[in-house]
Structure 1
């Protein structure tokens, strides 16, 4: 993580809109991953996005980064912090689960009531059972991990090692080593379901990525800048995913040393570099295409797109069947992309955004003063998708008290 340092004060006057734009591309990688796996492959695109589920790893890193950026140096009552996180993710989760169950019911597909309840309770990722991991809404397992991250975040922020550059470097090295060890441990797990659960779903395993994001967020907040800038970080991400192509052709996904788990466990450092570089560009006032109005809007829809795209894909496949042939597959892809993105836009404007605002106003910390503050700005969100990524100084100016 060698790089330049800049005055900490510079970090206090930036809107991190490039991070919102990045969220769209991460969500798109996940969408294309599901299309390739469930609706047929397209040349080149499917090769690059065959392991696009790594977009979830990006979101976990981003979540830690944004929360660290937002809450560093602030004192917020625990009940207020947890309520904000609930308001951020649960209303849209509930709406997506309702839509998913409705589609399953309409198609005559069995679904698990226990798994659905576990999903709504944000605990389904803790159980190595397919009925739980895909219950309610298959995409929603990651929110179970996010809920765990929220619980431990105040403790992470208070760790002495997080307070110094040397301590954060120790954490980064330890996290990278632990991620490699976790992937190698797959050789010891013979049950494929247990292996996939332990490496790809289990919240403590995924915590490594969140911790890396927290460390990167604090480093950037205190003036660290990654060497090479945003262009180098983007090229590193592309090079990593291109390197997975020959690997995937040589090793079946069912084997522990395939790129399937490696693409998710080993990509976190590259994504941390990307997030830090994009944030640095915004802090330093450098214009990026990621921060344009259209990209920011697409990024705001990305949480809903992530939660609803597989439901739309499943509904179209159930009604029209799985496409056959390259032209039909391309048409199915296009229809799924456009329709799911339209559903995501509606869900954001009609469910996610208004219900988050309503719950924040009515819940703990929802005083008249905080309502006025909310009208001006929102804190960055949590899961993948935070709604907005504004600077901490804006929030500090509108809150009387500023989770350390």
Structure 2
């Protein structure tokens, strides 16, 4: 009897380490905007919501790398992804709703239901697409990516490298075209269509898929990892003067651009880190603690906003200066510690338990063509 291959998480350890830094970018973004600014740091992360774009590209890379050449039934694949994201999502929504209740703020039951069903990002109403846990909106997009991935892989996996290259170019050009094309929409609808809607965000996922296929079939980027890191840092620093010149409310502001135009830069970073791992070079991203923090990153992403909201409710926003820095340090420590506990006691055991429910019959349907271990995309 053959068994379903069980994709691991650390065949490409630098990608696991990068997950932590992408989550940190989002956390620092929320701290800057919801608590108060810290000189230099807040300017650099003022558009750190772009970390979500990194995760969308990474999802495509990791899933393509993992499942290319593996005959996994669609229902098995989808169950795996459900087991990966839903248990912790449910726990985080329950915690978030409890905090809202303590704060005396009403919570939309429709929003909570839409979040738990992973459809909230499809609704162009802020109270719905932000759901019971505002940070969880991206999981609606991820769920859509998982639904279309089997068909996408079947369409692209057997193609030649030039098809992948043209596909990558096409999705990048589509992003460049859609950004101004949707500029005439009302501001709330435009923000939803560009920043939340799974259909538009799919361009970033597709870019990751073709990059993952190319890596799996032997392509290696020439861009050194330090240069790729410098490009990501330089891009975020370039947004600072742009932000000074253009209000975030305008369609051509850096707020949407930081998320919409960063996908190729993040793809370059991911591919360069993967190349370093495949060639056996140390990157500083694949050590034991970086891998552990990378494993905690999903829980950190889902829980950090709840911790920020709770802290601001209990103590108010701190005064500028040292008090803000201390407040930041406290939130970072508590939220990351909570993430570690959530991973250890909820996320990881729940995933293992749910995967075990597949049963021997389903496992016997799969022929394992690869035993490679890869990082989880979430």
Fold match by TM threshold 0.5: yes
Q: Give the Å deviation of 1:240.
A: 0.7
Q: Which residue of 1 aligns with 2:23?
A: 27
Q: CA deviation at 1:155?
A: 1.1
User: CA offsets, 1:364-399, max 9 Å, x none?
Assistant: 5687889xx9xx9976434xx2xxxxxxxxxxxxxx
Contact kept? 1:68, 1:218, Cα under 8 Å: yes
Which ranges in structure 1 are unaligned for 5 or more consecutive residues? 1-13, 386-404
Query: CA offset at residue 150 of structure 1?
Result: 0.4
User: Within 1, Cα distance between the matches of 2:100 and 2:158?
Assistant: 45
Deviations 1:290-338 (A, max 9, x none): 0011111000000000000000000000110111221111111111100
Shift of 1:107: 1.3
- Higher mean C-alpha displacement, 271-280 vs 160-169: 160-169
Deviation by residue 1:190-239 (Cα, 9 ceiling, x = unmatched) = x1110100000000110000000001001111111112221111111111
In the TM superposition, residue 70 of structure 1 has moved relative to its aligned partner by 0.2
Q: List per-residue Cα deviations over 1:103-160 (Å, max 9, x = no partner).
A: 1111111111100100000000000111111221000000000000001101111115
Distance 2:73 2:157 in 1: 23
Partner of 2:119: 123
Q: Answer yes or no: is the 8 Å Cα contact 1:115–1:135 preserved in 2.
A: yes
Query: Which of residues 58, 61, 64 is equivalent to 2:60?
Result: 64
Once residues 130 and 17 of structure 1 are traced to their aligned partners in structure 2, the CA distance between those partners, rounded to angstroms, is: 36
Match of 2:285, SS state, is helix
1:277 match? 272
Partner SS, residue 128 of structure 1:
coil
Instruction: Give me the whole-angstrom Cα distance separating, in 2, the residues matched to 1:184 and 1:320.
Output: 42
1:169 to 165, 170, 173: 165
Secondary structure at the counterpart of residue 37 of structure 2? coil
SS of 1:290's partner is coil
Aligned-partner Cα distance in 2 for 1:96–1:216: 32
Cα pair distance change 1:56/1:263, threshold 3 Å: same
Once residues 364 and 250 of structure 1 are traced to their aligned partners in structure 2, the CA distance between those partners, rounded to angstroms, is 58
Unaligned runs of 5+ in 2: 1-9
The answer to whether the 8 A contact 2:68-2:157 is kept is: no
- For the structure 1 residues 120 and 366, does the alpha-carbon distance in structure 2 shift closer, same or farther, using more than 3 Å as the test? farther
> Which of the residues 287, 311, 320 maps onto 2:315?
320
Equivalent in 138, 145, 148 of residue 149 of structure 1: 145
CA distance in structure 2 between the aligned counterparts of 1:334 and 1:97, rounded to whole angstroms: 24
SS class of match (1:349): helix
Residue 272 and residue 105 in structure 1: after superposition, are their counterparts in 2 closer, same or farther (change >3 A)? same
How is 1:341-360 mapped onto 2 (pairs within 5 angstroms)?
341-360=336-355
Given that residues 156 and 162 in structure 1 are in contact (C-alpha distance below 8 angstroms), is that contact kept between their aligned partners in structure 2? no
3-state SS in 1 of match to 2:71: coil
The reply to whether residue 310 of structure 1 matches residue 305 of structure 2 is: yes
Q: 1:163 is paired with a residue of what secondary structure?
A: coil
Structure 1 residue 295 and structure 2 residue 285: aligned? no
TM-score normalized by structure 1?
Answer: 0.87
Residues 168 and 210, structure 2, Cα contact 8 Å, conserved in 1: yes
Matched position secondary structure for 1:289: coil
How large is the RMSD of aligned CA atoms in angstroms?
1.8
Q: Does 1:236 align with 2:234?
A: no
Q: 1:336 and 1:365, CA in 2 relative to 1: closer, same or farther beyond 3 A?
A: farther
> Residue in 2 aligned with 1:79?
75
Residues 348 and 160 of structure 1: CA distance in aligned 2, closer, same or farther (over 3 Å): closer
Q: Is the 8 A contact 1:361 1:367 kept in 2?
A: no
